[in-house]
């Protein structure tokens, strides 16, 4: 919600008036000097939307403010062109409405368009979000990174490396939305205040690494796609793509990283396929390359790659993981019930490469149980179990 500055107003006053943490107001207005507001300039207030209201007979600013528990000056601020002493029945005014519920409705078939709509709406309501395009998929879909917070500790989440594990994206997005609601409403999540996390942690999220593959699983091959005939051929003519893990070129993106990649090359598929083909070389695919470049650029302290299924957390790789990784994964186990597994016979994954290159904690979190793609009937249970992991990654 945007408002126009009056003489004498400050960002601190707005934070008090709308009951929003000052730092969130400052971060929502990065081009404004908080010490020198200019009358008439526009300021974004996070966590609010502007709502139109048609005046009924006998209504006044005072009665509306009292009924809706709004600060009277907030009404005056949003309606500077309105004479509060001469209100007319049927006249339209603006109300500041606090967003107290989730925007993201993740319990659905969550494709790339769903992600884009939700990101746009979250950016509008929570303008302190930082968003970057880190690359493009094979078919040219922008890959988005979202960052929240100002802390020195840098934590990264990602989802949907594998196409038929798309449920990881709405799970992550649901947490992001809950985190944002809690920040702007000064609420707790499971008894934890998010305010210290915002100050101490910079959270980076790539919610959908493989958008082409996700859309292929959920909607089938597009009639306009240049890859249509090839993916149908690789899928042996089947119109159901629910078993597809790879990107649109038939390369498994989580077998693309230079951590014993040659081992995977020798024992996996030898040509493009719906799953398990590591490509012709490490980082041959634009999605994997984008994740590699982002990770080097951001220099994360820890990473969590969300996959499905099994309710396990893989946390080691060839003893490259530092000692604190075990302490962290035990906390993940405590808050989620998921089983920690140090080593698994797998190489060339994103988490493996991160631990090998940085010697820092990395985790592959396998959400839910069953056969991929998991049923949406599991969504609520998966979210409640994963919520503890999301939170613990910020305080551990």
Q: Which of 24, 34, 71, 53 is nearest to 181 (CA)?
A: 24
Structural domain boundaries, residue 135: 112-213+281-395
Say yes or no: 198 and 308 in one domain: yes
**What residues contact residue 240 under an 8 Å CB cut-off, 6+ apart?**
none
Are 58 and 47 contacting, i.e. CB atoms less than 8 angstroms apart? no
Q: Is residue 161 a part of any domain in this protein? A: yes
Q: Is residue 83 a part of any domain in this protein? A: yes
Q: What is the pLDDT of residue 143?
A: 98
Please give the average per-residue pLDDT across 315-326, as a whole number: 97
Please give the average per-residue pLDDT across 161-179, as a whole number: 98
Say yes or no: 116 and 188 in one domain: yes
2-21: per-residue pLDDT in tens?
999 999 999 999 999 999 99
- 8-state DSSP, 192: B
- Structural domains in the chain (count): 2
Greatest extent of the chain over all pairs of C-alpha atoms, in Å: 80
Query: Residue 43 sits in a domain of what CATH number?
Result: 3.10.350.10
Q: What is the pLDDT of residue 392?
A: 98
pLDDT band at 197 (very low <50, low <70, confident <90, very high): very high
Q: What is the pLDDT of residue 301?
A: 98
Say yes or no: 9 and 71 in one domain: yes
* Residue 381 bears catalytic tag: no
Please tell me which residue in 264, 287, 355, 366 is annotated as part of the active site: 366
Query: Residue 344 sits in a domain of what CATH number?
Result: 3.40.630.10
| CA atoms of 269 and 17, how far apart (whole Å) | 61
Say yes or no: 54 and 191 in one domain: no
323-340: per-residue pLDDT in tens?
999 999 999 999 999 999
pLDDT band at 209 (very low <50, low <70, confident <90, very high): very high
49-102: per-residue pLDDT in tens?
999 999 999 999 999 999 999 999 999 999 999 999 999 999 999 999 999 999
Say yes or no: 202 and 341 in one domain: yes
Are 20 and 74 contacting, i.e. CB atoms less than 8 angstroms apart? no
| CA atoms of 72 and 55, how far apart (whole Å) | 16
Say yes or no: 130 and 196 in one domain: yes
Pick the last residue of a domain from 76, 98, 120. 98
């Amino acid at each position: 919600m945007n408002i126009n500055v009056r003489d004498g107003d400050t960002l601190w006053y707005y934070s008090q008036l709308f009951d929003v943490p000052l730092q969130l107001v400052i971060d929502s207005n990065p081009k404004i000097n908080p010490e020198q507001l200019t009358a008439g300039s526009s300021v974004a207030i996070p966590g609010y939307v502007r709502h139109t209201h048609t005046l009924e007979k006998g209504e006044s600013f005072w009665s509306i403010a009292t009924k809706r528990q709004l600060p009277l000056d907030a009404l005056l601020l949003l309606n500077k062109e309105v004479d509060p002493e001469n209100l007319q029945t049927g006249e339209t005014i603006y109300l500041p409405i606090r967003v107290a519920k989730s925007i993201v409705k993740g319990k659905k078939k969550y494709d790339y368009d769903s992600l884009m709509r939700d990101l746009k709406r979250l950016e509008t309501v929570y303008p302190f979000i930082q968003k970057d395009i880190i690359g493009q998929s094979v078919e040219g879909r922008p890959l988005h990174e979202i960052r929240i917070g100002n802390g020195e500790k840098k934590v990264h989440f990602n989802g949907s490396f594998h196409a038929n594990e798309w449920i990881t994206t709405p799970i992550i997005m649901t947490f992001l939305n809950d985190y944002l609601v809690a920040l702007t409403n000064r609420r707790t999540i499971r008894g934890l205040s998010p305010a210290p996390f915002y100050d101490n942690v910079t959270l980076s999220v790539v919610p959908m690494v493989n958008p082409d593959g996700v859309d292929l699983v959920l909607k089938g091959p597009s009639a306009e796609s240049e890859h249509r005939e090839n993916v149908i051929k690789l899928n042996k003519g089947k119109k159901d793509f629910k078993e597809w893990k790879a990107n649109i070129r038939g390369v498994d993106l989580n077998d693309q990283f230079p951590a014993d990649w040659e081992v995977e090359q020798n024992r996996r598929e030898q040509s493009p396929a719906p799953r398990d083909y590591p490509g012709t070389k490490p980082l041959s695919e634009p999605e994997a390359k984008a994740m590699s470049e982002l990770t080097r650029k951001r220099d994360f302290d820890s990473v969590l790659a969300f996959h499905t299924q099994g309710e396990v957390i893989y946390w080691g790789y060839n003893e490259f993981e530092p000692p604190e990784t075990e302490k962290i994964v035990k906390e993940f186990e405590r808050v989620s019930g998921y089983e920690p597994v140090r080593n698994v016979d797998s190489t060339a994954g994103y988490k493996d490469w991160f631990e090998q290159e940085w010697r820092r904690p990395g985790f592959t979190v396998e959400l839910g149980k069953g056969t991929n793609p998991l049923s949406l009937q599991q969504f609520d249970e998966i979210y409640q179990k994963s919520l503890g992991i999301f939170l613990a990654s910020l305080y551990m």
